[in-house]
Structure 1
C-alpha cells in the first residue's frame, strides 16, 4: 500500500511542478496580467483572441534567467501559430521563432513554438502573445524556474480545456 501511494504522490508532484495559473482575461498592454513570484516555474493557461494579443508582465530581480516557451492546444487549428514578443526596458528581446511541433508533457498536449532563454537585470518584463490569424485558440506560456509543488484543484480542467482548444 505504501509503495503505490508513494508512486502516486511522486508522479502527481512532478506533474504539477510548474505552478498552474489561469489568465482569466484578455489583458491589454496598458493592463497586463501580472505574474507573481517570477523565480517560480509557471504554466500559464489562457484564451487567445482571433487577430489579437494577450499581455502579461512580471517584475524580475537582478540576474534573472528567463527561460520560456509558447504552446498552443492540441486540437487548435494547425494554422494557429502565435508569436511571443518579450520587451524589457523598452527593448524587444530575441525570441527564437521555432516551427511549431507536437509535444506532450504531464497530460498537457499541444504544439510548442517560440522559445526564449536570456539573463535580465532588475526591471519589468512585458510578454505579448500575438495572434496574427483570425482563429481563436488556447495558449500555454511555460516558464522555467524553481520547481515547487502547488496543488490547484482546477488545473486538470484547465489542461483539458487547453488540449481541446476550448478553455
Structure 2
C-alpha cells in the first residue's frame, strides 16, 4: 500500500495536478488582496433610509453598479480605469450603532465605497457619472427623500490598509 501511494505521488501527472492546484489557490488568494493602498483616495457615501425606500434604492444601486462596471472598466489600449475598487454594502440599522446585538430599527443602511488613485480621479468620476449615467438625478432625489440621512466623505485619504501583496510574500 505504501509503495503504491509513493508511486502515485511521484507520478508526473499527479505532480502537474498538484502544481496546478497550488497555482489556482495562489491566484485566488491574490485576487482577494486589497488594491486600495495607503495614500489612495476614497469616496464613501452612507445612506440610511426608511423601509418604503428600499425597493427603489436596490434598483438604483444595482443600476449604478452596472453603470460603473461598464464605464469605469479596463479596456485594452486605453488608460487604466480610474476606479480601483468599488463596493456597496447593505444592512439593517441598529438602535445602538455600537452594539451589534441591539434591536433593529426597521431602516436600511447602504455604504458605498469607491477607491481612486487621486483626488482628480474622484472629481472625474463625479463629472463623468453626472453627465453620462441617466439615473444620476434620480439617485440624488432618492437620497433626499424624507426619512433619509446621507453622510459623504468626498475625498478621504486611505490612512491604513491591510492585505496587500507585500503582506503575504
Name the TM tier (shorter chain).
under 0.3
With normalisation by structure 1, the TM-score equals 0.27
Which of structures 1 and 2 has the bigger CA Rg?
2
Give 1 or 2: higher helix fraction.
Answer: 2
State the TM-score, normalizing by the size of structure 2.
0.27
